Amino acid sequence: NAGVTQTPKFQVLKTGQSMTLQCAQDMNHEYMSWYRQDPGMGLRLIHYSVGAGITDQGEVPNGYNVSRSTTEDFPLRLLSAAPSQTSVYFCASSYRTGRTDTQYFGPGTRLTVL
């Protein structure tokens, strides 16, 4: 299994441009999430999904859209990039066994907005 894959690894955008960060998992996990990581602020949840066709907002959803048309894929769209969106973006997938959730993170996308 490849686990959780993310593309691209690095991206530089100009203010106002749009782009999609790709995330895929091959573990048949129900739950998928997007986080951004900024220095000193830990990981903050952007959007998450509990299954195909179902998405919900996290702590910092503004400026981002998501969709989940299949179990495997969970793309994150930046509608009009801003310098404040410069960050490292992590996608994660998880499943639940009993009362335990185990989240698996992708390698991340490092985004710079100029």
Partner 1 sequence: GQQVMQIPQYQHVQEGEDFTTYCNSSTTLSNIQWYKQRPGGHPVFLIQLVKSGEVKKQKRLTFQFGEAKKNSSLHITATQTTDVGTYFCSEGNTGKLIFGQGTTLQVKP
Residue of the chain from 50, 79, 82, 114 that contacts partner 1 (CB under 8 A)? 50
Residue of the chain from 43, 52, 63, 73 that contacts partner 1 (CB under 8 A)? 43
Least distance (Å) from partner 1 to the CB of residue 107? 6
Compute how many other C-beta atoms are within 10 angstroms of the C-beta atom of residue 16: 10
Q: What is each CA distance from 20 to 11, 40, 82, 95, in whole angstroms?
A: 11, 26, 14, 25
Q: Two tokens at 99?
A: 């009362």
User: How many chain residues bind partner 1 (CB under 8 A)?
Assistant: 32
Spatial neighbors of 69 by CB under 8 A, at least 6 apart, are 52, 53
Least distance (Å) from partner 1 to the CB of residue 101? 5
The answer to the question of residue 105 lying near partner 1 (CB under 8 A) is yes
The answer to the question of residue 56 lying near partner 1 (CB under 8 A) is yes
Residue of the chain from 48, 64, 78, 87 that contacts partner 1 (CB under 8 A)? 48
Q: What is each CA distance from 93 to 49, 59, 105, in whole angstroms?
A: 9, 17, 7
Contacts with partner 1, residue ranges (CB under 8 A): 30-33, 35, 40-45, 48-50, 56, 58-59, 90, 92-94, 96, 99-108
